[in-house]
Chain A
Amino acid sequence: MSEMNIVASKLDVSGATYRCVILAGEPWIREIQKGQYFRIVDLEGNQAADTLFYNAHDYSDRYSAQDTIREQRNLYLTTGTRLMSSAGNILLTIVADTCGRHDTLGGACATESNMVRYAIEKRHMHACRQSFVKAVMEWGHGMSKRDLTSNINFFMNVPVTPDGKLTFEDGVSEPGKYVEMHAEMDVLAVISNCPQLNNPCNAYNPTPIEVLIWDRQGS
């Protein structure tokens, strides 16, 4: 595996103005204002945090995996990655990352894709898309399944080999590892704390994550 890019944050947890623990299998949705810092902590390790971002003033302008990958010429997200929107805006920039790399090609698990990937009998199992649909329906503002597009899988390890194979492997994350972003514009963030039990993305044991928000820091 290539060398990881580990960058710690200068922000103190005691200064956070918002903290919330998201249990495994739960959705979370909240606006983050321009200038705020947004941290996701993998509390117990190897837990995928499936995440979507939208321009808070125009939900049709949203995180785009293809634009983000192309702009930085790399498949993996880490410190320095600018999270690009479908209309070419920078939504957030990753400013600290103690995990080292995150996936944006693996998509979010769904009851339907679980049927394809594992067995048709798996339809009943909880999946990220159930949480995403619930989150955007409850948020309202006209959002629907049409707004669920390519997502980020923070803390998830989906290596692509030079011969074009893509695999899900054991996470590279550990308890307490985190990723931190600076909001470059007002964004809406939606997270599904992944309930997947059929592959190693959560080490077969989904666990809680924590989100923290700091207000704009004085210069």
Chain B
Amino acid sequence: MSEPMVRWEEMVQPGATWSHVLKRGTALRITDVEGGANVGAIFYNMECPAERYNIDTLKAQQVAHLSKGCVLYSDMGRILCSITEDTAGGHDPIGGCSNAALVRQKYGESRYQELRNDYYKNTRDSFLIELEKWGLGPRDLTPNVNFFSLLRVSGDGSIAYQPSTSGPGSFVELRAEMNVLTILNTCQHPLDPNPKYQPRPVHLAIRSVPAPREDDPCRTFRRENGRGFTLTERYFL
């Protein structure tokens, strides 16, 4: 079977923000072009944005990091997106996002006046600006996922940034199970030990995909996901 045709391709520059309502029946492939990228991401049901990505994602699937087969749950028990492909080896749902104070402390002062579009961006402010464009605001900012980054958890609960295993060309694919407002930002992970501001670009590709079958690996990943897909399919009845 040949790969369905890509309908939209785009590069997201280092430290930049991108948003779109991913339509049910399409899939977004995010490719770490150079290796070592980080993509902060937040998700909302665009028809009713009070429904949004939720930490239930972890307990429902009993995972502390996300990879192929996992789905992203909303607070309403429905599936926003499924992770249908992952060659990066796991993604961080815990570390959160950078903010202005953290970026200033790590990388120093930087202003548009001197650096033009290379000035230092941070993920929190970028999310807030993008949310506002969709009629949302600070009350709507939720925990985020960090694609292509991972944290190591020790037995005592301590966490540490795991040096990136995401090499050039590794990718993750998100299949939209609803019409999902997706906001992405390519700033570095807040725990990235690199002392330099060095965000990386990612490549995006959107294509149409068939509805998940009964034996879809995300549906069968856990029994919980089977019920999650049922509740999501009922939403569209």
Residue of B nearest to A2 (CB): B156
Question: A96-118: contact bitstring with B at CB < 8 Å (1 yes, 0 no)?
Answer: 00000100011100101101110
Residue of B nearest to A168 (CB): B59
B211 an interface residue at 8 Å Cβ cutoff?
no
Looking at the complex, which one of B50, B58, B90, B152 makes contact with A145 (CB distance below 8 Å)?
B50
Q: Are B143's CB and A149's CB within 8 A? A: yes
A57 an interface residue at 8 Å Cβ cutoff?
no
Q: Are B138's CB and A74's CB within 8 A? A: no
A141 an interface residue at 8 Å Cβ cutoff?
no
Q: Are A116's CB and B138's CB within 8 A? A: no
Least Cβ–Cβ distance between A164 and chain B, in angstroms: 5
Looking at the complex, which one of B137, B157, B231 makes contact with A116 (CB distance below 8 Å)?
B231
B63 an interface residue at 8 Å Cβ cutoff?
yes
B46 an interface residue at 8 Å Cβ cutoff?
no
Q: A165 to B65, alpha carbons, bound, how many Å?
A: 8
A33 an interface residue at 8 Å Cβ cutoff?
no
Q: Are B64's CB and A64's CB within 8 A? A: no
Q: Are A120's CB and B64's CB within 8 A? A: no
Residue of B nearest to A68 (CB): B96
* Chain B residues near A9 (CB-CB < 8 A): none
Do A112 and B153 contact each other (CB < 8 Å), given the known contacts A66-B96, A105-B55, A164-B65?
no
B85 an interface residue at 8 Å Cβ cutoff?
no
Q: Are A162's CB and B152's CB within 8 A? A: yes
B141 an interface residue at 8 Å Cβ cutoff?
yes
Q: A117 to B56, alpha carbons, bound, how many Å?
A: 9
B228 an interface residue at 8 Å Cβ cutoff?
yes
Least Cβ–Cβ distance between A62 and chain B, in angstroms: 8
* Chain B residues near A150 (CB-CB < 8 A): 55, 143
* Chain B residues near A167 (CB-CB < 8 A): 62
B120 an interface residue at 8 Å Cβ cutoff?
no
Q: Are A2's CB and B153's CB within 8 A? A: no
* Chain A residues near B63 (CB-CB < 8 A): 164-166
Q: A13 to B96, alpha carbons, bound, how many Å?
A: 38
B94 an interface residue at 8 Å Cβ cutoff?
yes
* Chain A residues near B101 (CB-CB < 8 A): 88
Would you list which residues of chain A between 36 and 89 have a CB under 8 Å from chain B? 59-61, 64-67, 69-70, 73-76, 86, 88
* Chain A residues near B157 (CB-CB < 8 A): 2, 74-76, 101, 160
Do A116 and B73 contact each other (CB < 8 Å), given the known contacts A64-B96, A166-B63?
yes
Residue of B nearest to A147 (CB): B139
A146 an interface residue at 8 Å Cβ cutoff?
yes
B11 an interface residue at 8 Å Cβ cutoff?
no
Q: Are B190's CB and A149's CB within 8 A? A: no
Q: A60 to B141, alpha carbons, bound, how many Å?
A: 9
Do A166 and B190 contact each other (CB < 8 Å), given the known contacts A64-B96, A74-B159?
no
Q: Are B96's CB and A67's CB within 8 A? A: yes
Would you list which residues of chain A between 114 and 155 have a CB under 8 Å from chain B? 115-117, 119-120, 129, 144-150
* Chain A residues near B50 (CB-CB < 8 A): 144-146
B54 an interface residue at 8 Å Cβ cutoff?
yes
Q: Are B153's CB and A162's CB within 8 A? A: yes
Q: Are B159's CB and A116's CB within 8 A? A: no
* Chain A residues near B155 (CB-CB < 8 A): 2, 161-162
In the complex, besides A74-B158, A112-B231, A166-B59, 15 extra interface pairs with C-beta distance below 8 angstroms are A2-B155, A70-B95, A70-B159, A70-B191, A73-B159, A74-B159, A75-B159, A107-B59, A113-B56, A117-B224, A120-B230, A160-B153, A161-B153, A162-B153, A167-B62
Q: B: which residues have CB within 8 A of A?
A: 50, 54-56, 58-60, 62-65, 73, 75-78, 90, 94-97, 99, 101, 137-144, 152-160, 190-191, 224, 227-228, 230-231
Ranked nearest first, the 9 interchain pairs of A and B with the lowest CB-CB distance are A66-B96, A112-B77, A60-B138, A2-B156, A107-B55, A75-B157, A76-B157, A160-B64, A113-B56
Can you sample 29 A-B contacts with CB below 8 Å? A59-B139, A60-B138, A60-B139, A66-B97, A69-B95, A69-B96, A69-B159, A70-B94, A70-B159, A70-B190, A70-B191, A75-B157, A105-B55, A105-B58, A106-B55, A110-B75, A112-B78, A113-B75, A113-B77, A116-B228, A117-B60, A145-B50, A146-B139, A146-B140, A147-B139, A149-B142, A161-B64, A165-B62, A166-B58
